[in-house]
Amino acid sequence: METPERIRFALCWEPAPDAFDSYPALELVIAAGAGVDRLLAHPGLRPEMKVARIRDTQQAYQMAGFAAHEVLHYERKFDHLRANAKARLWTDVLGRSPGSVSVALLGHGTMGQAVVKSLTALGFTLRVASRSAPADPLPGVRYFSGDTAAAKAATGADYLINLLPLTKATEGVLNADLFARLAPGARLIQIGRGEHLVEDDLIAALDSGQIAAASLDVFRQEPLPADHPFWAHPNLRLTPHLASHTLPEELVRQVIACARALRDGETCDSIVDPARGY
């Protein structure tokens, strides 16, 4: 068994404040998932320690399926159909042409790209905001980059899907100003990080009708407290942070590959840039 002084690599998720103190030789901490904001802000993270995250294509497919499911749930009016079936009503419910529906997506990493592909395949019109212009843009998709990308992508959109990484620049990005840019009666699908959302601004937008409904999978406090107002709001769909999960076999493969690369003096593609936060 290795002694603490010889441990060089750690796999963790939300480690305790003193979790790294007993391991002076640590040079790499790997998040057991895609989010690394808490690791980058960890009080025990030393300058010589690198942070890596998991990039899982299968996890991206899960996220894309979740996003597409929520858009289709609203567009095909499945809540209305379920209510009609319960009332034994055989009533047609008309929807819009997918091409007439504008979807704004914030974030164009591995998961964001999977969401773009899934929704364009279903015929929806995509407007994508990212830090920089994509190297391989998809035909028919509008891309926005730079500091004003989110505002431009959201303007007039029927749906706003958030998949941004959490950084100082993106915290609180889902706020009243951004909601006001959406088409009246738009829907929000929040599958990024809980800290992206200004919760009071969302409640106000829902109550005013500017946002007709929202699907929330991530929250500032998890588990969501039983007395939180989100539970009681009729226009919210809540899920317990399950839009995607890291698959164990892929987690093991990437952890081993990254550790071996650093051991052998090679580059690990999963290393996070601390300045960018992802």
Give catalytic residue positions: 193, 241
Helix, strand, or coil here: 64?
Answer: helix
The CA-atom distances, in angstroms, between 256 and each of 11, 52, 54, 250, 262 are: 10, 12, 11, 10, 10
Q: Residue for token digits 């959201």?
A: 154
Note the Cα 231 to chain centre separation in Å. 21
The CA-atom distances, in angstroms, between 169 and each of 161, 164, 211 are: 18, 10, 24
* C-alpha torsion 149→190→39→14, nearest 10: 180
Rounded to 5°, angle at Cα 204 from 198 and 208: 145
Cis status, amide bond into 223, omega within 30 of 0: yes
Q: How many residues belong to the chain?
A: 278
Rg (CA), the chain: 21
Q: Using CA atoms, how far apart are residues 220 and 173, in angstroms rounded to an integer?
A: 13
Q: Using CA atoms, how far apart are residues 59 and 218, in angstroms rounded to an integer?
A: 16
Q: Using CA atoms, how far apart are residues 153 and 159, in angstroms rounded to an integer?
A: 10
Q: Using CA atoms, how far apart are residues 37 and 46, in angstroms rounded to an integer?
A: 15
Encode 184-207 in three state secondary structure: CCEEEEECCCHHHECHHHHHHHHH
